[in-house]
Structure formats: structure tokens, C-alpha cells
Amino acid sequence: MKLLHHPERKDILLSSVLYALSDPVRLQIVAQIHRGGEQACKSFEVPIAKSTLSQHVRTLREAGITHTRIYGTQRLLSLRSEDLNERFPGLLDAVLRSYGESREEIELRQEYEKQGS
Amino acid sequence: MKLLHHPERKDILLSSVLYALSDPVRLQIVAQIHRGGEQACKSFEVPIAKSTLSQHVRTLREAGITHTRIYGTQRLLSLRSEDLNERFPGLLDAVLRSYGESREEIELRQEYEKQGS
């Protein structure tokens, strides 16, 4: 089985976390996992190609934001909330709260719905 | 006098703010302004060339994080704390707190001192 690298808690860097969160698609993925718990990549409501999604998922994992679990042919993603809160207290909550209130999520949803119609 | 563009509060985007903060040098600049208030670019304790610093300063201004005021030959930078707190409550504080406690600032300082010695 392919082993995926996840950085240890102490090696999670603030600049990498902020970079990983600085993309509307990745923010949307993180917000969706935060709302619904561990879920498969295919459940993410983002208007992008599968290969692009894989890149985003990788960026999140390598920054230490998400944990990817391989289950059969699926990749299940969960948030490393405990690691992040221990390392950078309040940061993830502040980002998710800001994201929920910003227009960026709404715009991404509209784009998604337009593509799906 | 050259006019510098600053985005209006409503146009400050979360993803742009997080991107601008995702670089150790820019984090250091923001932390230094947060500690000492408005100050000139030349006062920033960062181990980089002047042209690179100008790029970082521009990225911070265009993201809506800092305000640049031209005073004679100097450029004075201040934090747009009120705009950021209104737009994304708690975000800047969480980032600065995380930064102060992370190793990244220390590493940057060491590099700076090594270059200066």
C-alpha cells in the first residue's frame, strides 16, 4: 500500500499552513471537512478537474492541515484540528469563521452550480 | 506624487490576505509593524535585497494588510488593523500570536544576524 507522508505536529509551519489556506478551492475543501467530518475526495463540491483536485488535496496534506486515509480505492480526508490547535491556537477557527462570512465561498458555489446546470 | 493603490475594505479577500501572510519575510514585516507602529521600509529587520523587499511590501499593500504612506523619499508602512478586524475578526491576532510562538521568526532572525556579522 502506498504510504502518504504527513508532517509531524512539530514540523507544521505557519507559512505553509497559511499558503495552503490561501486558495479558495482549498478553503472550500477545509470548510466542508470541518462541517461534515472525514469524507472522500469525490464528495467535495468544487468546480475543478480531478487532477487539479488531487494537487489541492496534496498541498493540504503536506502543509499538515489534513490527514489522508486510503480506504480501498478511496481517499478519505480529515482535518488535523488537534495538531493545528495545539501548534497555532485559534488560527484555524479564525480562518474558517472568516471564510464562512466572506463572499468567496458564495462565488465558488455559484460557479459550481453554473457548471452543473 | 505617485499614488499607490490600496483596496477598499469590502474588496479585501481572505485568500489574498492568507497568501500575503504565507511568507516568513512578510510575516516578519507585519509582526514588526504590529509591535512598533508605522515605520519606514528601511527599518525592517529582514535579510533580503531592497528590490525583493519592495515586492513584499507591494504584496502586503495590494492584499489590504498594510497602508503605505509616501513621506519625502520614504515609504512608511502601517497595519490596516481596523479594516482587517472588521472584515475577518480575530484572524490577524491569531496569525500574529502563532507567528510569535513559532520557530520561523527565530530562524529568520538567526539568518539575519549571521549575514550582518
Scanning every residue of chain B, which has its alpha carbon at the shortest distance from the alpha carbon of A94? B91
Q: Which of A24, A91, A97 sits opposite B95 (nearest CB)?
A: A91
Contact residues, chain B, for A21 at CB < 8 Å: 18
CB atoms within 10 A of CB A10: 10
Label residue B18 exposed, middle or buried (CB < 10 Å: 0-12, 13-18, 19+): buried
**What backbone torsions phi and psi does residue A28 show, to the nearest 5 degrees?**
-65, -40
| Single pTM value for the model | 0.89
Instruction: Give me the residue label for grid cell 489556506.
Output: A21
Residues A57, A68 contacting (CB under 8 angstroms): yes
A35 pLDDT band (50/70/90 cuts)? very high
In-domain check, residue A102: yes
C-alpha cell read off for B79 = 497595519
In-domain check, residue B5: no
What residues are paired with B74 via a beta bridge? B71
pLDDT at residue B103, rounded to an integer = 66
Taking alpha carbons only, the member of B37, B39, B17 closest to residue B27 is B17
Domain that holds residue B34: 12-116
Contact residues, chain B, for A13 at CB < 8 Å: 102, 104
In-domain check, residue A4: no
Residues A52, A28 contacting (CB under 8 angstroms): no
Label residue A105 exposed, middle or buried (CB < 10 Å: 0-12, 13-18, 19+): middle
In-domain check, residue A28: yes
Higher pLDDT, B110 or B21: B21
This complex has an ipTM of 0.87
A1 pLDDT band (50/70/90 cuts)? low
pLDDT in tens, A75-115: 999 999 999 999 999 999 999 999 987 766 666 666 666 76
How many domains, in total, are found in chain B? 1
Averaged pLDDT for residues B12-39: 95
Residues across chain A: 117
A46 pLDDT band (50/70/90 cuts)? confident
Residues A104, A51 contacting (CB under 8 angstroms): no
pLDDT in tens, B29-84: 999 999 999 999 989 988 889 899 999 999 999 999 999 999 998 999 999 999 99
In-domain check, residue B2: no
In-domain check, residue B26: yes
Q: CATH number, domain at A70? A: 1.10.10.10
In-domain check, residue A2: no
Q: Which of B13, B24, B89 sits opposite A15 (nearest CB)?
A: B24
Q: A20 vs chain B: nearest CA distance in angstroms?
A: 8
pLDDT in tens, B70-117: 999 899 999 999 999 999 999 999 999 999 877 666 666 666 667 655
pLDDT at residue B92, rounded to an integer = 96
In-domain check, residue B7: no
What is the average pLDDT score of chain A? Answer: 89
Percent of chain A with pLDDT over 70: 86
DSSP-assigned states of every residue in B22-37? SSHHHHHHHHHHHHH-
